Amino acid sequence: MQYYGINDANPDALKGRTIVIYGYGSQGRAHARNLHDSGFTVVVAARPGKSYDQAKADGLAVDTPERAIPVADLIALLTPDMQQPELYERHIAPLAREGAALLFAHGFNVHYKQISPRKDLDVILVAPKGPGALVRRQYEEGRGVPSLMAVYQDATGKAKEMALAYAHGIGGTRGGVMETNFAEETETDLFGEQAVLCGGATELVAVGFETLVEAGYQPEVAYFEVLHELKLIVDLLWEGGFARMHEFISETAQFGDLTRGPRVVDEHTREQMRAVLREIQDGTFAREWVAEHKAGRARYNALKQKDLDHPIEVVGKKLRARMPWLQEASKPAKAKETA
């Protein structure tokens, strides 16, 4: 894998050029502020409202999409995935100047052909491997979140240089920028979310909680054992992998991990992961999600509400209320992505 650091980027590739951030949510706000603080010319495309007011309060230039996009040298489309095709067709396709760059933070719509970019546009991807609040916080602390970078379409011959300059501007080269392609970024990102980070982890927690409660243990004790303490283990894994976890957990925990873990996540689980990955690779998941969105999201909303109504949420809300420091820590992560 090609790996780029601070000295590999050429910031001049974007200096003096206009970067338009379209979508001022979690990632958009972080990107815009970091780029602005890095000395780049940034305009947020938004209409009067919450995003417009927030961008103004952050000291950034703001204009409507109709006025901002025609003057952009680079357009970062950072709205939620399901909004992007309509916004591309309505504003970017007809208004972007010839030879401009179109940037994504996730390759979903390009990879699954929900967006077919104009042939004269550079089409690039810069995907920080962390939420927007972390991208901003790390930048302010002089560090950076590692990022993935890809080029889908190089119309001008300068697409890669532009992508690397953008990654540098948001702090990505401080943490390291790894080169990939739209297919690999999209498919691995979706798999991570579905099988491990979100779907896999939350189902494991829920089933663990249910198993303890069904066996007669107090829900509050079950909550701490299967959810609250999960952060401690994840932090150790994040800091130093399996080795650091084994360094800091007891030998009893290690033996239980090594002998019982493979019984919980067994060959059946592995085959289900393979099936999930196949559905990502062949477009089944993408077609299902796009169809769900177009149909009004009834199933999505019902499934999400079922998650929010789970007994572990009822218990957790009461316990977290006794830990006010958690409320303070969660505030930056609550920003929603908006158009």
Measured between alpha carbons, how far is 121 from 153 in angstroms, rounded to an integer? 7
Q: Does the annotation count 310 as an active-site position?
A: no
DSSP letter at 209 equals H
Beta pairing partners, 127: 148
Widest distance between CA atoms in the chain: 66
Catalytic residue from among 106, 168, 246, 293: 106
Question: Is 152 one of the annotated binding-site residues?
Answer: no
Residue with tokens 């150790």: 236
Full strand arrangement of the beta sheet holding 147-153: 3-4, 177-179, 147-153, 122-128, 101-104, 74-77, 18-22, 41-45, 61-63
Rg (CA), the chain: 22
Rounded to 5 degrees, what angle do the CA atoms 84, 90, 96 make?
90
Question: Is 27 one of the annotated binding-site residues?
Answer: yes
Asked if residue 135 lies in contact with residue 145, where contact means CB atoms within 8 angstroms, the answer is yes
Question: Is 239 one of the annotated binding-site residues?
Answer: no
Measured between alpha carbons, how far is 162 from 100 in angstroms, rounded to an integer? 10
Question: Is 116 one of the annotated binding-site residues?
Answer: no
Asked if residue 77 lies in contact with residue 103, where contact means CB atoms within 8 angstroms, the answer is yes
Rounded to 5 degrees, what angle do the CA atoms 35, 105, 137 make?
45
Asked if residue 91 lies in contact with residue 64, where contact means CB atoms within 8 angstroms, the answer is no
* CB half-sphere exposure, 28, CA atoms < 13 A: 27
Task: State the binding site.
Answer: 24-27, 47, 51, 132, 189, 193, 225, 229, 250
Task: State the binding site for Mg(2+).
Answer: 189, 193, 225, 229
Task: State the binding site for NADP(+).
Answer: 24-27, 47, 51, 132
Task: State the binding site for substrate.
Answer: 250
- Residues annotated as catalytic are 106
